[in-house]
Amino acid sequence: MGYFELIIACIFVNNILLAQFLGNCPFLGTSKKMETAIGMAMAVIFVLVVAGTITWVIYTYILVKFGLVYLRTMAFIVVIASLVQFVEMFLKKSIPALYAGLGIFLPLITTNCAVMGVCVLNIDKEFTFLQSLVASFFYAAGFGLALILFAGLRERILLARVPKPLQDTSIALVTAGMISLAFFAFQGMV
């Protein structure tokens, strides 16, 4: 598979949110306002690229080598959690501007299943290092795309007349389902 197809697959066909349904909590939680949605998208891109590559290295050079593949989930959780903490400390000291920009979203990602999911997918699909780097970035970009699209829609939904039982989260889930259906049109492209 060429990189172009990989990119298209990551962003659209296998969109982490709308096709694989991973990371739904931030999808619903941070999509009420465009501003927070953008912040979250940036933080996810940043963390996923770092986490995707590091976990690939750990899997390939440690777990496989010592025959401990069955410990993958546990190892990844520990690594991602520590990584996010580490990155937060690093940013606070070295790039305070970026730290302030990402703000509260950085620690939130520790428990984001999209991050874990991408790391696992990278392994399952037997990507090379470069491929997993590209895939991590574009999965995250796909996440950002879906989140920002959705935030834009929700801002409009706020202004619409929604029947009482469907207001707020209900209508958001219905909408998410419809966008998801729309994304299914990309199915089979690659």
Partner 1 sequence: MVESLLFLMILGAVCGLLLSFASKIFYVYEDPRIAKVEGLLAGANCGGCGFAGCSAAAQAIVNGEAPANACILVGPENVSEIAVLMGSEAGAAEPLKSYNNCDGGKRASDRFIYSGLNSCSAVTSLYGGKRDCSIGCLGFGDCVRACGFDAIHLGSNGYPVVEKEKCVGCGACETACPKSILEVRTVSQRLLHLNAIDDALAPCAQTCPAEIDIPRYIGHIRNGEYEEAVNTIREKNPLLLACGRVCPHPCENFCRRGIEDEPVSINQLKRFVADMEMNSGKRLPIECGPDTGKRIAVIGGGPAGLSCAYFLRRAGHHPEIFEAMPKLGGMLRYGIPEYRLPKKVLDWEIDGILNLGIKNHTNVRLGVDFDFGSLIASGFDAVFFSVGAWNDYNLGIPGEDLDGCFTGINFLAKIGNDEKVRLGRRVAVIGGGNTAIDCCRTLLRKGVDKVYLVYRRTRKEMPANEVEIVASEHEGIEFVFLAAPNRVVGNDDKQVTGLEYLKMELGEPDKSGRRSPVPVKGSETILDVDMIITAIGQSPLLDFRGKGDRLDGLSITRWNTFDVEPATCQTNVPYIFAAGDSATGPALVVDAIGGGRKAARSIDLFLKGKPVIPQPKAILNKHIPGTIFESVDGVVQKKRTEMPELPVAQRIHTLDEVDLVIAEDQARYEANRCLSCCRLCYNQDKG
Residue 100 CB neighbour total at 10 angstroms? 10
Q: At what angle do helices 129-157 and 34-58 cross, to 10 degrees?
A: 160
- Tell me which H or E stretch contains 25: helix 24-29
Q: Closest distance between partner 1 and the C-beta of residue 75, in Å? A: 6
Q: Is residue 68 classed as helix, strand or coil in its secondary structure?
A: coil
In terms of CB distance, is 89 or 185 closer to partner 1?
89
The one-letter code for the residue type at 149 is L
User: Which one-letter DSSP state was computed for residue 166?
Assistant: G
Q: Closest distance between partner 1 and the C-beta of residue 104, in Å? A: 9
In terms of CB distance, is 62 or 185 closer to partner 1?
62
Q: Does 165 bind partner 1 (CB under 8 A)?
A: no
User: Which one-letter DSSP state was computed for residue 24?
Assistant: H
DSSP string, 126-138: T--HHHHHHHHHH
Here's the x/- map for partner 1, 68-87, by CB under 8 A: it reads as x-xx--xx--xx--x--xx-
In terms of CB distance, is 86 or 129 closer to partner 1?
86
Q: Closest distance between partner 1 and the C-beta of residue 2, in Å? A: 35
In terms of CB distance, is 25 or 78 closer to partner 1?
78
Residue 26 burial by Cβ neighbours in a 10 Å radius (0-12, 13-18, 19+) = buried
- CA 183 vs CA 15, 44, 76: distances in Å: 8, 20, 29
Site for partner 1 in 89-128 (CB under 8 A): 89-90, 92-94
Of the candidate spans 7-15, 27-35, 63-71, 123-131, the one that interacts with partner 1 by CB under 8 A turns out to be: 63-71
Of the candidate spans 33-41, 46-54, 109-117, 153-161, the one that interacts with partner 1 by CB under 8 A turns out to be: 153-161
Q: Which spans of this chain sit near partner 1 (rule: CB under 8 A)?
A: 62, 66-68, 70-71, 74-75, 78-79, 82, 85-86, 89-90, 92-94, 158-161
